Amino acid sequence: MRVCDLIERKRDRGRLAPDEIRTLIAAYTRGDVPAYQMSALLMAIYLNGMDDAELTAWTQAMLYSGKVLDLGHIQGAKVDKHSTGGVGDKISLPLAPLVAACGLKVPMVSGRGLGHTGGTLDKLESITGFRTDLPTERFIEMVDQLGLSLIGQTAEIAPADKKLYALRDVTGTVSSIPLIASSIMSKKMAEGIDALVLDVKVGSGAFMRTVEEARVLARTMVAVGEGMGRRVVALLTDMDQPLGLTCGNALEVVEAIDILRGGGPADVRELTLTLARVMLELGGADPDEAERALDDGRALARFRTVVEAQGGDPHLVDHPEKLPKAPKIEPFLAPRAGYVSAIDTRMVGLAALVLGAGRQQAEDAVDPRVGLVLAHRLGDYVEAGEPLLWIHHADVGVDDARRRLEAAWQIGDAPPAVRPLVLDRIG
C-alpha cells in the first residue's frame, strides 16, 4: 500500500477500503507513516468527508490501536455518557453516581478542560486527594464493586487518536465532523461499554454553534456506534448560556453536590435527570428510578463512596463549603437596567480561563479556587448597577476577564425568547 495513492484517491473524492484504513492507522501509530502524509490525508478527509463504512472502519482502527477494556465478566449493563463540551458543564459529577446507584455500571473515562470548555477531571481534582490516574485493574475493580469509576484517558487507550488529534490541532482539521466523531467514539468504545448517551451541546458556548451542525455530528456518532454494535442515543442540549450558576472547578463541585442533595439550579437538575433516564432506558432499567435515587440520598452516598475509593477526602462531600476558595470575590455589575437578552457563553468560558480556571495549552495548570458565579440568567430583569455575576479570583487575569464579560453580556428592553434545554433526541 502506498500512502500517496490513498491521499490522491481521497483528494479526488474516492473511497478508502476498510483494510486500507486499518493498515494505514496501524502504520501511523507505529511511526511508519510521516506526519506530512497523514496531514495531507486529514485535509482531504476534511474537504471531502467519509461515508459510513469508511468512518466505521476508521473509528475501529483507532479503537484497536490500543487496549480495549474487557468488562464482560461484570454483571449488568455498562453505559456511559459523553458531552461535546460546554461552559459550566458539571453534569458528569452528579450523573455518574446517580446512574450507578440505580444499578447500572458506569465506566467513565473523562477529559480535562481545554480552551473555553471545562473538564471533569479538573473538577474532581478540586477534591483533596482524588486520583484520576488509577491503574486499569483498579478502575475495572471499582466498576465491578461500586458500579462506577471516573478516570482520565490512559496511554493504552486509543493511542492513534492521541497522535491524530495533535496533528489535527496544527493542520486546521479539528472541526471535521467525521474526525470529531471518530475521535470521540474510539475512546468511548474502548471502555468496554454496551451503550452510550451523547450530550451534543449547541450554541454560543459550544463547538457546534447551530442546531443543524449539531444534528449532523449527532447522527454521525450514532451511526458509528450502531455500526460497531452499540446502542447510542444523542441529545442536543442548549449552550447559549452557562449550565447552572457556576463556572470554575471547585465552584462546580459545590453545585454538583447540591444537586446530589436534591437541590441546585433547575437546569442542572433537569439535564442530570434527563440524561440519567436515557442511560437507564438503554441499560434496561426503570427510568423513573433516577428521580427517586436522587432525592432519597442514594446518589449522594454513592458519590461519597467513590470519592473515598479514589483517594479523595469524603469529608468534603459532607462539607463542600471547605473545598478550595478564591481569596477575593468581586461583583460584575449590570451597565444599565433591562433584560438579559443574550450571553456569549464562549466569552464567559474564556473569562473563567484567564482567571486560571482553564488552560490554553494541555500542559497549563489550573487554579481550582477561581471562577464565576452567575446571579442572573437569560430573560432575567436587572437594575443598573446590580451584580450580573461574581468574580472569584486570586489577582490573576481580572481585568482581562472583565473585558470579556463586558463583551459577553447584552442587556435589552424586552425579554428574549429562551429555547428549551433539550432541543432534540437522535437515536
How many residues comprise the chain?
Answer: 427
User: Is the Cβ–Cβ distance between 247 and 310 less than 8 Å?
Assistant: no
Amino acid present at 106: V
Residue 237, burial from CB neighbour count under 10 angstroms (0-12, 13-18, 19+): buried
User: Is the Cβ–Cβ distance between 426 and 233 less than 8 Å?
Assistant: yes
Bridge-based pairing state of the strands 148-152 and 106-110: parallel
Instruction: Round to whole Å and give the CA distance between 303 and 217.
Output: 31
Active-site entry in 161, 194, 267, 344 = 161
Alpha-carbon distances, residue 85 vs 116, 206, 243, 386 (angstroms): 9, 6, 11, 30
User: Is the Cβ–Cβ distance between 104 and 147 less than 8 Å?
Assistant: yes
Catalytic: 82?
yes
User: Is the Cβ–Cβ distance between 181 and 59 less than 8 Å?
Assistant: yes
Catalytic: 187?
yes
Catalytic: 199?
no
Catalytic: 186?
no
Catalytic: 325?
no
Nearest-CA neighbor of 292 among 308, 310, 280? 280
251 φ/ψ angles, rounded to the nearest 5 degrees: -60, -40
Q: Which residues are catalytic?
A: 82, 161, 168, 183, 187
